[in-house]
Amino acid sequence: MSAFKVVLAKSGVTLTVPEDKSLLEVLLEAGYPVSYRCKNGYCGNCGVLVLGGIPEHLDDVMVPWEQAQNKLMMSCVSRCKGETLTLDM
């Protein structure tokens, strides 16, 4: 897994998600409230809306057609296929 950047569209803030942390961890550490429950990609509570970029879906919640839309991702396990994601936050 590689590090990637996340742009939070509503605040204009850019965060870096290092290789050894999840997007959820980085968002929580930066003070952004994200609901979560399992932290394993099974429950779907940590979903965040994606405005740009391509998520690497590693969850067990979304079905293939939902993943193909790239509009939602589970922040506890999913990563970015490129260098940057833009979220509706």
At residue 26, the 3 state secondary structure works out as: helix
Look up residue 23 and give its two tokens.
């997007």
In the prediction, which pLDDT does 33 show?
Answer: 92
- Strands of 9-57 (E only): list them: 13-17, 47-52, 55-56
Look up residue 49 and give its two tokens.
């809306």
Q: Assign residue 19 a region (left: φ > 0; alpha: ψ between -120 and 50; beta: otherwise).
A: alpha
In the prediction, which pLDDT does 22 show?
Answer: 98
Per-residue pLDDT of the chain in tens (89 residues, 90 and over written 9): 799 999 999 999 999 999 999 999 999 999 999 999 999 999 999 999 999 999 999 999 999 999 999 999 999 999 999 999 999 99
Q: Where along the chain do its domains lie?
A: 4-87
CATH code for the part of the protein at 4-87: 3.10.20.30
